[in-house]
Amino acid sequence: MAQKASQGRGLPTDWDRNKQEACSRPREQQAQRPGGGKKEMAAARLSLGRVFPESSILFLCDMQERFRHHIAYFPQIVSVAARMLRVARLLEVPAVLTEQYPEGLGPTVAELRAEDLQPLAKTCFSMVPALQRELDSRPQLRSVLLCGIETQACILNTALDLLDQGLQVHLVVDACSSRSQVDRLVALARLRQSGVFLSTSEGLILQLVQDATHPHFKEIMKIIKEPAPDSGLLGLFQGQNPLFH
């Protein structure tokens, strides 16, 4: 009995020694498992889909005049994209803007309030070819926040091109739409299958801010104080929807 007591309260046991050694090691070493290493840890972190201002960029895709009366919930998705742009400016997240065949489809709508951005014209159903030079100039880039239209066309192809380059894609679901809600729904499911993170604007904004002590937190709270407008997502994400099971 005396020997057991001394092991419990006196001399450290082997378990105690192991615990102390583990706590004294750097966190990265503690997290490693047999057969694991830094590459596995990096892959695990990427799979979490965290976003940080210094390694993110905002993509604004083809929100143009000729689409105004053809895209479902067009005013609402432009409003949410404008909200994302305001936050990007506050947090110094770079933003880029494209226009699909502007000679025929017109300029970017004024409601987006992107007058300070130089739109890049394109005909490809992806933003990436037009923005490849921009991507190459930002070696620190890890995450692309994607807004715009149409979900099954330029949004889907842009996301796949970005994934193919090893970048994380975060689709702002309340800032993307299509003419057809069937196309929108299936495209969202397809994007998710391919590894795109589906997020709401507020969810991404709060991830970027990270802390209520952020110097711009009060300004950002004014932006997100009012809920984002309804863009028809509740019907797409209802429990009986087999594409999201």
Q: Is 14 a catalytic residue?
A: no
Q: Is the peptide bond before 150 cis (omega within 30 degrees of 0)?
A: yes
Question: Tokens 């936050």 label which residue?
Answer: 87
The single residue of 4, 19, 61, 62 carrying the catalytic annotation is: 62
Residue 172, number of CB atoms within 10 A of its CB: 26
Quick check: is 230 catalytic?
no
* Nearest Cα to Cα of residue 100 among 145, 140, 130, 132: 130
Burial class (CB in 10 A: 0-12, 13-18, 19+), 227: exposed
Determine which one of 61, 147, 154, 176 is catalytic: 154
**Catalytic residue among 19, 23, 61, 122, which?**
122
Active site residue 122: yes
Give 101-108 contacts, CB < 8 A, sequence gap 24+. 102/64, 104/66, 105/62, 105/64, 105/65, 105/66, 105/67, 106/64, 106/65, 106/66, 107/64, 107/65, 108/60, 108/63, 108/64, 108/65
Q: How many CA atoms lie within 13 A of 63 on its CB side?
A: 29
β-strands 56-61, 143-149: how paired? parallel
Among left, alpha and beta (phi > 0; psi -120 to 50; other), residue 189 is alpha
159 exposure class (CB count in 10 Å sphere: 0-12, 13-18, 19+)? buried
Q: Which amino acids are annotated catalytic?
A: 62, 122, 154
